[in-house]
Chain A
Amino acid sequence: AQTVTQSQPEMSVQEAETVTLSCTYDTSESDYYLFWYKQPPSRQMILVIRQEAYKQQNATENRFSVNFQKAAKSFSLKISDSQLGDAAMYFCAYRRYNNNDMRFGAGTRLTVKP
């Protein structure tokens, strides 16, 4: 079974600084997809960034980037120039190729200090 582990229940960052959220996963598959979702107080989950496992290049979306280490099964999220609006729960997720079952981690609550 595929599992996703987020070892940091809570993280804190000063506004304008950089923070990295950790995620590891367990799988025997070679083809899969990885995602980071953000859940603000409004409760709606919003996709932040995604990565295809077959791509070596790390995905980036503006201030958000990932460090994808396939051999280590690690998928961390880096948020640069943190903003107050980045405060939210962040969930790492895994989805096997040809499968609808997206597995989520337990989440990391990010606080941004002004």
Chain B
Amino acid sequence: ETGVTQTPRHLVMGMTNKKSLKCEQHLGHNAMYWYKQSAKKPLELMFVYSLEERVENNSVPSRFSPECPNSSHLFLHLHTLQPEDSALYLCASSQSPAFGQGYNEKLFFGSGTQLSVL
């Protein structure tokens, strides 16, 4: 039991499809994150939610749309993706608030969704 569960584990979609990635954390954390992991590149932070409010959006294309209905669930809605969007998408959670606390709390990660866009 990892504490952070991501589904699906693998996803293949065409460029015209609409799909959603799901993340659920069972750790009682109040912040959740989406990261993109491409081969041989550093992880890229896409979105941060704290207390269900989006607090960071690192210039991610609008074809990626996050949703955080409550502190335990995080979604990433995908539409009209490009082949270069193929990557491993990792969800993470932490106890630290988004701003102002300076905590060094670690991130707890899920096992990711391996996305292939054809």
Taking Cβ atoms with an 8 Å cutoff, the residues of A that contact B are 4, 9, 31, 33, 35, 37, 42-47, 50, 52, 91, 95, 97-107
Contacts and interface: CB of A to CB of B under 8 A. Distances in A.
A31 B110 contact: no
Interface of B is mostly: loop
Given A9-B40, A103-B42, A35 B99 contact: no
B101 A91 contact: no
A71 to B, nearest CB: 21
B71 to A, nearest CB: 15
Interface residues of B, number: 30
Interface string B43-56: 10100101000011
Contact of A31 (B92, B101, B102): B102
Nearest to B4: A44
8 contacts: A33-B104, A43-B88, A44-B112, A50-B106, A52-B104, A91-B43, A95-B104, A104-B43
Given A9-B40, A35-B106, 15 more contacts: A31-B102, A37-B109, A43-B112, A50-B104, A52-B104, A95-B104, A97-B102, A98-B101, A98-B102, A100-B31, A102-B107, A103-B42, A104-B42, A106-B42, A107-B40
